[in-house]
């Protein structure tokens, strides 16, 4: 715990550089070390969302996740980087683009009225579905909806 507190303090850059050299940790891994609250929020959301989806329809869940809250202390790029690290293969959790999009939506949407959650289907022969976030029609956080036809958009 002392390491986490120290890394978040004013000497963060010096300690992060030292950790990278000595332990050979990647920059992305160190982002989680530097931001344990964000990593905790991402993992908590990922673990609770499946049960929430069982209890309520996607549109109601998305509306609930969008409710205004306090401004997050993290920027969009950092949220994208940490969710990529924790929720993309090889991830400790089996996850999908839907859960990744919902976690990001929960962290960003209460503070960004322009953000929209999309779920779509790819036409045959490729088939399959995809979930992503977009702002003013442009996908964000590198989740491209290439070839997908939106079937769900929140807010409508």
Asked, as a colleague might, if the bond just before 27 is cis with ω within 30 of 0, I would say no
Query: Is pLDDT above 50 for 28?
Result: yes
Stated pTM of the model: 0.78
Which of 11 and 150 is assigned the larger pLDDT? 150
The pLDDT, as a whole number, for residue 128 is 86
pLDDT of residue 29: 62
Contact 63, 106 (CB under 8 A): no
Phi, psi of 93 (to 5 degrees): -110, 140
Largest CA distance in the chain: 53
pLDDT of residue 153: 95
Q: What would the DSSP string read from start to end of 108-136?
A: HGGG-TTEEEEEEEPPTTT--EEEEEEET
pLDDT at 6: 35
What integer pLDDT is reported at residue 146 of this predicted model? 84
Tell me the pLDDT band of 4, cut-offs 50, 70 and 90. Answer: very low
Model confidence pLDDT, tens digit, residues 94-143: 788 999 999 999 999 998 999 999 999 988 777 789 999 999 989 998 77
**Alpha carbons 148 and 134: distance in angstroms, whole number:** 13
Reference 65, options 24, 111, 126; nearest CA is 111
1 pLDDT band (50/70/90 cuts)?
very low
Task: Summarize pLDDT for 63-74 with one digit per residue, the tens.
Answer: 999 988 776 778
């Amino acid at each position: 715990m002392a390491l986490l507190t120290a890394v978040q303090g004013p000497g963060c850059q010096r300690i992060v550089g030292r950790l990278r050299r000595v332990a050979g940790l990647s920059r992305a891994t160190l982002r989680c070390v530097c931001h344990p609250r964000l990593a905790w929020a991402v993992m908590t959301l990922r673990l609770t969302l499946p049960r929430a989806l069982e209890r309520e329809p996607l549109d109601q869940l998305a509306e609930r996740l969008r409710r205004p809250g306090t401004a997050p202390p993290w920027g969009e790029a950092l949220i994208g980087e940490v969710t990529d690290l924790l929720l993309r293969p090889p991830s400790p959790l089996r996850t999908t683009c839907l859960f990744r999009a919902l976690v990001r939506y929960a962290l960003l949407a209460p503070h960004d009225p322009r953000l929209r959650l999309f779920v779509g289907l790819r036409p045959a022969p490729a088939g399959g579905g995809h979930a992503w976030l977009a702002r003013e029609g442009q996908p964000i956080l590198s989740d491209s909806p290439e070839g997908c036809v939106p079937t769900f958009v929140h807010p409508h």
